[in-house]
Structure 1
């Protein structure tokens, strides 16, 4: 499993979102409070963020545990942004262990993360892979289940689907092939956030007109955190948040 988080709001030091909160994503790498599968997320990490006036996000990724990289704290202390996506990783069996498999994945303005696992990977989802053009399969960022999920969602985005439709379609397709998989996806373009709750925890903290945080679990004890029901899609920005039930897969 993994833990992930996305933020939209006023520009802040990255560390104020991913390190400084008492139950931050940084701390969740060794002490998650609500993780249902696995106990430590020490197999890699990544952070993507947007600079003012630039729609293409920057990205910092490494193998190994986030606490073992002293440069990460320095980078997040001095860099400010009003939009980011971060993740800490617990590797799915059979997936690549290197930096290329660490979220976030990116293309154009998009940042994507997967908290979960495709059970039976890779054989269980071979039919889904066969629906992708060869060129897209050959350019997968990594040999892992999350990279395939991203390729399926990105294919929908390239075809003109909105982020909500892309995640709903990807979730439904994968769930129909491997029903017990955990499919918590997180996607942002720096202006909106879309996420799925399918098999693991997902929460959001909204301050309408100001900020939105969507995360695997609350990073502090603010009572305004709201849990997303399982098998629901979240879409939102700093103005509003919508929760939509996801369709059950055709098995």
Structure 2
């Protein structure tokens, strides 16, 4: 498992978001409060951020724990950004890919992270291999499940799908092939954040200064944090946060906690997006 965080908003130092908060991502690497699987996220970390005037993000990734990297401490103190995506990693399986396996993964203007695990990896997704161009398979950044899920998302983005749709369709495809998977995905282009809650915790904070934080868990005890229901797509900007339930299209997948019993009526439409009542769609203080 992992812990991850994305931010869009007013410019501020990386450390104010990742290190300074009492339960920030830095502390979550050894003492997460809401992590359901695993206990220590010491198998690598990474942060990607956007510099003024450049739409292509920079990345800093390492194979070791974030607390042991003094270079990152200096970097986080002085580098400022209006958008970032960061993650601390607890590897599902041991592998040789080192920092290449650490999120965020990147392509063009996008940064991506996966908090979770694909059940039965790699055999469970053998069918999805055929949906990817050979070039994408041969240039995978790492040989873990997260890198492959990113390849599925990126293939959809390059086909012109919106960020939220690319995440949602990928989650439903993977969950159909591997129903026990945990698929909390996080994606940003520097202006918006898209995320899915599927099997683990996801929270968001709409700050009074116009910034929006989306994270595996709150980095402090501010009452403004809101938990995202399981099996939900989140799309956020500096102006608003929109939540849309994901319809489970995975045959045989167990229902999420609190899901209503299956109906004996006609089948539901295939569209995985179900509008939520208007008051719950957007939140901004």
TM normalised by structure 1 equals 0.98
SS of equivalent residue, structure 1 residue 156: helix
Write 1 or 2 for the structure with the bigger share of strand. Answer: 1
Verify: 1:133 aligned to 2:130, yes or no: no
**Comparing 21-30 with 96-105, which one deviates more in the overlay?**
96-105
Name the Cα RMSD after superposition.
Answer: 1.0
Question: 5 Å matches for 1:168-187?
Answer: 168-187=168-187
> Unaligned stretches of 5+ in structure 2?
252-285
Structure-2 separation of matches of 1:218 and 1:94: 28
Task: Tell me if the contact between 1:6 and 1:84 (Cα under 8 Å) persists in the aligned partners.
Answer: yes
Superposed CA offset, 1:59-95 (max 9, x none): 0000011111110100010100010000000001254
Verify: 1:78 aligned to 2:72, yes or no: no
1:129 positional shift: 1.8
Verify: 1:221 aligned to 2:224, yes or no: no
SS of equivalent residue, structure 1 residue 11: strand
Question: 5 Å matches for 1:43-122?
Answer: 43-93=43-93, 95-122=95-122
Bigger radius of gyration among the two: 2
Task: Tell me if the contact between 2:5 and 2:214 (Cα under 8 Å) persists in the aligned partners.
Answer: yes
> Unaligned stretches of 5+ in structure 1?
none
SS of equivalent residue, structure 1 residue 136: helix
Structure-2 separation of matches of 1:118 and 1:146: 8
Task: Tell me if the contact between 2:172 and 2:248 (Cα under 8 Å) persists in the aligned partners.
Answer: yes
Number of aligned pairs?
A: 251
Verify: 1:195 aligned to 2:195, yes or no: yes
Relative contact order, higher structure (CA 8 A, sep 6+): 1
Moved over 3 A (4+): 94-97
1:96 positional shift: 4.3
Structure-1 separation of matches of 2:250 and 2:117: 19
1:236 positional shift: 0.9
Verify: 1:38 aligned to 2:38, yes or no: yes
2:29 matched to which residue of 1? Answer: 29
1:97 positional shift: 4.6
Task: Tell me if the contact between 1:25 and 1:87 (Cα under 8 Å) persists in the aligned partners.
Answer: yes
Structure-2 separation of matches of 1:34 and 1:187: 21
Structure-2 separation of matches of 1:84 and 1:73: 16
Task: Tell me if the contact between 1:182 and 1:199 (Cα under 8 Å) persists in the aligned partners.
Answer: yes
Task: Tell me if the contact between 2:10 and 2:209 (Cα under 8 Å) persists in the aligned partners.
Answer: no
Task: Tell me if the contact between 1:94 and 1:144 (Cα under 8 Å) persists in the aligned partners.
Answer: no
Structure-2 separation of matches of 1:110 and 1:14: 18
**Comparing 88-97 with 148-157, which one deviates more in the overlay?**
88-97
